[in-house]
Amino acid sequence: MRILVTGGLGFIGSNFIKYMLNKYKNIKIVNIDKIGIGSNIKNLEDVEKDERYHFIKGDISDFDLVSKIIRNVDVVVNLAAETHVDRSIANPRIFLESNTIGTFNLLEAIRINNPKMRMIHISTDEVYSDIIIGSYKEEDRVKPSSPYAASKAAADMFCIAYNKTYNLDVIITRCTNNFGPYQFPEKLIPKTIIRASMGMKIPIYGNGKNIRDWIYVLDHCEALDLIIEKGKSGEIYNISAGNEIENLTLVKKILEIMNKDEDLIEFVEDRPGHDIRYSLDSSKIRKEIKWRPKYSLEDGLKKTVEWYLTNEWWWRPLINEKILHPTPWKLKW
């Protein structure tokens, strides 16, 4: 099997590539990444010499480049995206260009050059917006709150349209918050670990009562692997582990694992459009694909804390003013 992974130098992408190379011997993976914010060439240093892996520095907004690559692969896993919500509030245009137009380019390249191939488009739970009671199912309507979520929802709509109009083999996945090794330090969990390790304050938006459902990244990778094999064309699959927790409680758990004092917690001004609670019903993928998460929240957090504390070589060069001195969302990055 020949797989094109877009955004493979990012957090989920690099974990997915390693997962697939470790699991399958007869596989070829092409990774295209523009090496933007959130991407790190060091994420895949240990597989650079693997003959089954090939890296191309490029942008999915480059239609000619994408069209050439598409002709020689069987599956596209589209992980290329701008993902930081705060950045989308400060500068939404790049999210439209990368997340929406980039996905459109992939679909067009497939339609013209390789219409029989399969595309797995990685979306997000944020397209649904928040929910106070219950959990979102795949057929529920999307109502994004942030420019990031809007750009992903728009990409989803193009995927659905190309499946219906051109009969392309496209599948959409919507996953809850991932965590684990190689996650960019601006994200909540690695930022908490890094700042706590340095004895610095941990900023929490608002009152910290916002609820998110967390999934260890390797559980997500396994779900994508199963969807490539067993997923049905045109379907949407929610992926969640059922680890709903308030942001404040999550940070306290991390500090407890690290034996750090809760006095490090500092409440800061909330950001606009900050959804209260995300929750996905993942019964569809559990029933149809037979996927189940293997890592509990506690086990995943312990593994993640251990990884960041023992891999300072990876995150230390990424530390900048945004990590050491977080800038309010309303200021341009």
Dist CA 255 CA 261 (whole Å): 7
Nearest to 123 by CA among 271, 206, 236: 236
Chain centroid to CA 217:
9
Choose the catalytic residue: 128, 136, 148, 295.
148
122 three-state secondary structure: strand
> Over the stretch 40-51, which tens digit does the pLDDT of each residue have?
999 999 999 999
Q: Which residues contact 263 (CB under 8 A, 6 or more apart)?
A: none
**Contact present, 156 and 78 (Cβ < 8 Å):** no
Q: Please indicate whether residue 64 is annotated as part of the active site.
A: no
Catalytic option among 59, 86, 125, 138: 125
Say what the pLDDT of residue 104 is: 97
| pLDDT tens per residue, range 110-141 | 999 999 999 999 999 999 998 999 999 999 99
The structural domains of the chain, ordered by start, are 2-179+216-239 (3.40.50.720), 188-212+244-277+296-324 (3.90.25.10)
Catalytic residue among 126, 138, 213, 225: 126
Return d(Cα 114, Cα 17) in angstroms, integer. Answer: 22
Could you report the per-residue pLDDT of 224-246, keeping only the tens digit for each? 999 999 999 999 999 999 999 99
CB 197, CB 146: distance < 8 Å: no
Query: Strand order in 211-216's β-sheet?
Result: 177-179, 211-216, 244-246
Rounded Cα–Cα distance for residues 4 and 321 (Å): 34
Question: Which residues is 57 bridged to in the sheet?
Answer: 33
The predicted model gives 308-326 an average pLDDT of 81
Catalytic (active site) residue 128: no
pLDDT at 328: 46
Cα 198 vs. chain centroid, distance in angstroms? 26
Q: Is 148 a catalytic residue?
A: yes
